[in-house]
Amino acid sequence: MRVLACGVRTYERAALERHFQDRHPLHCVTWVPDGDTVGLAAGYEAVCTSPAARLDAALLGRLAAGGTRLITQRASGYTNIDLDAARELGLWVARVSSYSPHSVAEFAWTLVHALNRHVHRSYQRTREFDFRLDGLLGRDLHGRAVGVVGTGRIGTVFARIAQGYRMRLYGWDREENPECRALGMTYLPLEDLLGRAEIVSLHVPLTPETRHLIDASRLACLPDGAILVNTGRGGLIDTTALVSSLRAGRLGGVGLDVYEEEERYFFRDLSDEVVTDDVLARLMTFPNVVVTSHQAFFTAEATATILATQAANVDDYLAGRATENTLVRGRDA
């Protein structure tokens, strides 16, 4: 079975080739399928994509017409894929349902520490041999209140780390997690959690119900000086409302590893280009904002799982076997 891996980055290629070796012929390319390139995927029964590809109904239709029957994505998120269209076309769609939750949870705490202790500002200063401490005062994490929005696997690891600091734990989710309860977490309505927490970290999936979960009214619930971190999905926060809250000087810090319009920018070098996204540009001007390039997942352990799962998804498709990675089971499987 011929497999086309699209949007392959330098660090992915060798591992992908190793996992597919002696199993399925694999061709790696750097481009992602779009209106101009989708014709190059003709003849490949399986297409392995990155979340940078926007696989809408039209593009999926062209892939299917070219002989593609399986879409396997190197990510857990799949909001870039029109699953209804895939189902109508008889495509099999798979993803990576899980990988190291420690990778994302630990990075969320990396952002908290950077913001609380102003590491990003200190780094820039000392590069210029400015060793003053003015403006770098942080606070002990011990005893502070932390709100975990989404208490699944990643949120639970985040909470476990917080317990190590002896912090007060508040949680919000559709269902309470007994493991988080055992850590001493108190579940609250979202507005109440936001009103009490000095640090808030988002770990829920992006769905129609959670889009702009943190909007202007809920940002107003946060206490002055609160730190807000998002390593989940960019659409969880109304970014325009976030900019307004930052301009008002209410937030102590914001750490964003994801952004609503990141598909247009992330994973690319735009240092020589003019970025016309005024909201993103405005975010970059705040001294208490850290924006990173969707790298929370990026550990050796997590990437190894993500890449190995691609070959496993192909094997499952050929066997007609639905697993926890299967999003749509195609007609031809």
- 131 and 209 part of one domain: yes
- The catalytic site residues sit at 233, 262
- 67 and 122 part of one domain: no
Residue 65 forms part of a structural domain: yes
- 253 and 276 part of one domain: yes
Residue 123 forms part of a structural domain: yes
Confidence of residue 131 (pLDDT cuts 50, 70, 90): very high
pLDDT in tens, 252-306: 999 999 999 887 888 787 888 888 889 999 999 999 999 999 999 999 999 999 9
pLDDT of the residue at 327: 97
- 47 and 170 part of one domain: no
pLDDT of the residue at 283: 95
Closest CA to 201 of 247, 253, 165, 263: 253
Task: Give the count of domains, the chain.
Answer: 2
* SS3 label, residue 23: coil
Confidence of residue 330 (pLDDT cuts 50, 70, 90): confident
Other residues' Cβ atoms within 10 Å of the Cβ of residue 85: 18
Structure tokens at 232: 């989940």
Provide the CATH number for the domain around residue 243: 3.40.50.720
Q: CA 26, CA 13: separation in Å to the nearest integer?
A: 10
Residue 333 forms part of a structural domain: no
Is the backbone of residue 211 left (phi > 0), alpha (psi -120 to 50) or beta? beta
Q: CA 132, CA 121: separation in Å to the nearest integer?
A: 11
pLDDT of the residue at 273: 85
Query: Between these two residues, 39 and 333, which has the higher pLDDT value?
Result: 39
User: What integer is the mean pLDDT of 31-48?
Assistant: 94
Residue 332 has pLDDT above 80, yes or no: no
User: What integer is the mean pLDDT of 99-121?
Assistant: 97
Residue 309 has pLDDT above 70, yes or no: yes
Domain span holding position 274: 101-291
pLDDT in tens, 204-218: 999 999 999 999 999
Residues 6+ apart with CB under 8 A from 121: 135, 136, 287
